[in-house]
């Protein structure tokens, strides 16, 4: 099966969670919007798909995947679809649901990370919501991030298979996503991560093991991996890590 991934060509964004699964499995896929502009590739192909009135089940936003006649949108849903096909999902239904639940929690975390620099609206520039971003980021780093990281650490600790992966005894798509979250957080919030990582040794170990997977390592070293930048979900604005000013009164 040749898969077509549709995602914005210049950022890792949410598309990266799908890319990592396809790359780990060495799946045959095209990153359509990054292909030369034409009927079968480029941004026009992506936009045409989004706007095509003939598509009965259109995706709301990228990333989405085309597999034969099927079009699958929503990152967690794409991974739910791809997981068993790429050998990155557990067999039992209860375990698949659990993996999907964790992936949806990753999606929640990603949304909150995005909101640290765009708390008011995605359509406004960061510079136009900087004050609100500072408040949002301070609360995110003090309250929400430790809660999310602590949760995933607990999930790793509680996995009865104790193999270092989130679900069962084998690497799955959620492990790849959590690797990406740690990578992104290190880029966006290096000081906070330096402070928090010591408390989350299993999460750090998971990250390191994923980075050593031969297919992942080859991908990360390739030109297919877009570097982090200031347009994606993970952005490094040093001012968002500055210590919060004490509230008065
Ligand atoms: N919940 C969706 C969110 C999709 C999403 O927000 N995609 C962004 C890029 S990462 C986008 O292009 N949004 C355009 C829009 O919402 O209009 C998912 O996890 O896939």
Quick check: CB of 13 below 6 Å from ligand 1?
yes
**Which residues are within 8 A (CB) of 158 and not within 5 positions of it... i.e. 6 or more apart?**
none
What integer pLDDT is reported at residue 40 of this predicted model? 82
How far, in Å, are 76, 83, 147, 158, 174 from residue 155 at the CA level?
18, 20, 12, 5, 12
Q: Is the pLDDT of residue 143 over 60?
A: yes
| pLDDT of res. 155 | 98
* Residue 245: predicted pLDDT: 57
**Ligand 1 center from residue 143 Cα (angstroms):** 25
Q: What is the pLDDT of residue 246?
A: 55
CB of 62 closer than 6 A to ligand 1?
yes
> Model-level pTM?
0.96
Residue with CA at minimum distance from ligand 1 atom 2: 74
Any idea what DSSP says for residue 144? I
**Tell me: the pLDDT tens digits for 158-204?**
999 989 999 999 999 999 999 999 999 999 999 999 999 999 999 99
Q: What is the mean pLDDT of the chain?
A: 96
């Amino acid at each position: 099966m040749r898969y077509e991934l549709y995602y914005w060509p210049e950022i890792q964004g949410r598309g990266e969670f799908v890319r990592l699964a396809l790359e780990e499995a060495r799946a045959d896929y095209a990153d359509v919007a990054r292909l030369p502009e034409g009927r079968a590739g480029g941004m026009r192909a992506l936009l045409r798909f989004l706007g095509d009135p003939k598509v009965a089940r259109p995706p709301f936003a990228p990333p989405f995947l085309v597999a034969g006649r099927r079009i699958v949108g929503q990152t967690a849903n794409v991974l739910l679809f791809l997981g068993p096909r790429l050998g990155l999902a557990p067999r039992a239904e209860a375990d698949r649901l659990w993996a999907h639940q964790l992936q949806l929690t990753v999606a929640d975390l990603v949304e909150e990370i995005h909101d640290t620099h765009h708390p008011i609206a995605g359509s406004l520039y960061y510079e136009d919501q900087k004050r609100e971003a500072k408040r949002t980021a301070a609360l995110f780093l003090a309250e929400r991030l430790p809660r999310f990281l602590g949760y995933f650490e607990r999930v790793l600790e509680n996995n009865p298979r104790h193999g270092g992966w989130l679900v069962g005894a084998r690497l799955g798509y959620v492990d790849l996503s959590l690797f990406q979250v740690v990578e992104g957080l290190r880029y966006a919030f290096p000081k906070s991560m330096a402070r928090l990582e010591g408390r989350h040794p299993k999460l750090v170990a998971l990250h390191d093991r994923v980075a050593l997977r031969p297919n992942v390592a080859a991908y990360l070293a390739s030109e297919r991996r877009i570097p982090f930048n200031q347009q994606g979900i993970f952005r490094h604005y040093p001012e968002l890590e500055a210590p919060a000013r004490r509230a008065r009164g």
